[in-house]
Structure 1
Amino acid sequence: MNLLKNILFFLIIPLQVLSSELDLTKDEKQFISFNYDELKYLDSLKTIKMCVDPNWEPYEVIKNNKYEGLVSEFIKLIEKKINKKFELIVTESWIESLEFIKNKKCQVLPFLNETTKRKEFLNFTPTLYTEPDVIVTKNDVQYIYNS
């Protein structure tokens, strides 16, 4: 129970939530299980307050006070699977989002990288999404020089 009340709510959502099929015509909660205390806590919430990086396209961005990007689609899926809405807490910057989560003005910061410093005040789920880092050049570029 204490884990849920800590800053990152996602800790109770298993990896299968995002890696399962996006076909929600099946039993939408089939991969999510909660214990009694977790269910009780979820029921006590009207919404789950979420801060994001407001300028990290294409992953997440706030445009006209609306949450958009790749991560917003994951959030929609999770909302359907747990039958609970995420409430966007609008911030002006990533720094402000970090301050808000530290001061418990929001409960969730989706899609951030785990660091030793962040582990001091956040709980992290197992990795839900990975993406390779690559360098892309024009076809006629044979070598990238370190200048």
Structure 2
Amino acid sequence: MLRKIQIIFFWMLAGLWSFSISADELILNPSEQAYLQEQQVISMCVDPNWLPYEKLDTDGKHIGLVAKYIALIQSKLGIPIKAIKTDTWQQSQKLYENGLCDIVSALNKTPERAQYLAFTQPYIESPAVLILNEKNLTANKLADLDGQTLGMVKGYVYESKLREDYPDIEIAYVSDMEVALLDVSAGTITATLGPLFLTFAMVQELGLDNLTVVGNTEYRDELRIGINKDNQILIDIMDKTVASLTKEDHSYVRRMWAVERNP
């Protein structure tokens, strides 16, 4: 079934960068330029184990597709952007909730997160798909999973949506998406839910050829940069910077990410 996932993935790949069709020129006003000159560094919270989007490697280096975007944004702004070392997404959440990072590299916008963060426009998007073991195809859609277990990382955007929209699905919390896929493959949970882009890459790397995509859901990833909501000038700067990303910028990021994955 890996081939089936590959076909769906490549059909959707172009849509990941669909927000780049039009772009604004990056023009910072004198106050914004002065702010960047005064700052020595922009601190950033990340998900430390979310490849292919992002990860902190054993040396604390930020890698993955999102890291390539952040490197490009750093070059546009001319100021270092440094990832804060954490071991889990939950630790990063605590940091941004307490105002201890200037930005968050990539996350979906939710009402809960908007209590702490402002958001740029999306710069990556991907549909969320339902993944099952091909020997246990008991569902074609989320509504079919009532009373069954679905693996989910606590704090991920789908968690609150699932609890609201499908309260009868039993959520089995896992440490990360890799564990969720392995558990579905082993048959210890029924299904998991994740962005197609991330899911494809992980299934391929883990060699889990007994997993299959049974369908899209009404959910999707629309990844944005989150900014400390008390820092209006940085909000304006990041808004302008993400809005300035061109088709050429997105193509460059894809090439750099491909080199990282296949050196």
TM-score (norm 2): 0.41
Indicate the residue corresponding to 2:31 in structure 1: 37
Indicate the residue corresponding to 1:14 in structure 2: none
Q: Distance in 1 between the 2:130 and 2:97 partners? A: 34
Confirm whether residue 115 of structure 1 aligns to residue 116 of structure 2.
no
Q: Distance in 2 between the 1:99 and 1:137 partners? A: 32
Indicate the residue corresponding to 2:100 in structure 1: 105
Q: Distance in 2 between the 1:77 and 1:31 partners? A: 15
Q: Which runs of 5+ in 1 are unaligned?
A: 1-17, 21-29
Indicate the residue corresponding to 2:80 in structure 1: 85
Give the structure with higher Rg (CA).
2
Q: How does 1:1-147 map to 2 (within 5 A)?
A: 19=20, 31-64=25-58, 65-134=60-129, 144-146=137-139
Q: Which runs of 5+ in 2 are unaligned?
A: 1-18, 140-147, 149-263
Q: Distance in 1 between the 2:98 and 2:36 partners? A: 21
What are the superposed Cα offsets for residues 66-122 of structure 1, whole Å, 9 maximum, x if unpaired? 111110000111111111111111012111111111223210101101111101110
Q: Distance in 2 between the 1:126 and 1:45 partners? A: 24
Q: Distance in 2 between the 1:137 and 1:112 partners? A: 25
CA deviation after TM superposition for structure 1 residue 137, in Å: 8.0
> Are the aligned partners of 2:99 and 2:116 in contact in 1 as well (CA < 8 Å)?
no
CA deviation after TM superposition for structure 1 residue 53, in Å: 0.5
Q: Please tell me the residue identity of whatever aligns with 1:110.
A: S
Superposition RMSD on alpha carbons, in Å? 2.4
Q: Distance in 1 between the 2:109 and 2:52 partners? A: 19
Identity %: 33
Q: Distance in 2 between the 1:81 and 1:100 partners? A: 26
Q: Distance in 1 between the 2:81 and 2:20 partners? A: 20
Indicate the residue corresponding to 1:10 in structure 2: none
Q: Distance in 1 between the 2:31 and 2:115 partners? A: 24
TM-score (norm 1): 0.70
Indicate the residue corresponding to 1:3 in structure 2: none
Secondary structure of the residue aligned to 1:73 is: helix
CA deviation after TM superposition for structure 1 residue 134, in Å: 3.8
Q: Distance in 2 between the 1:48 and 1:73 partners? A: 16
Q: Distance in 1 between the 2:119 and 2:126 partners? A: 18
Q: Please tell me the residue identity of whatever aligns with 2:25.
A: F
Q: Please tell me the residue identity of whatever aligns with 1:71.
A: V
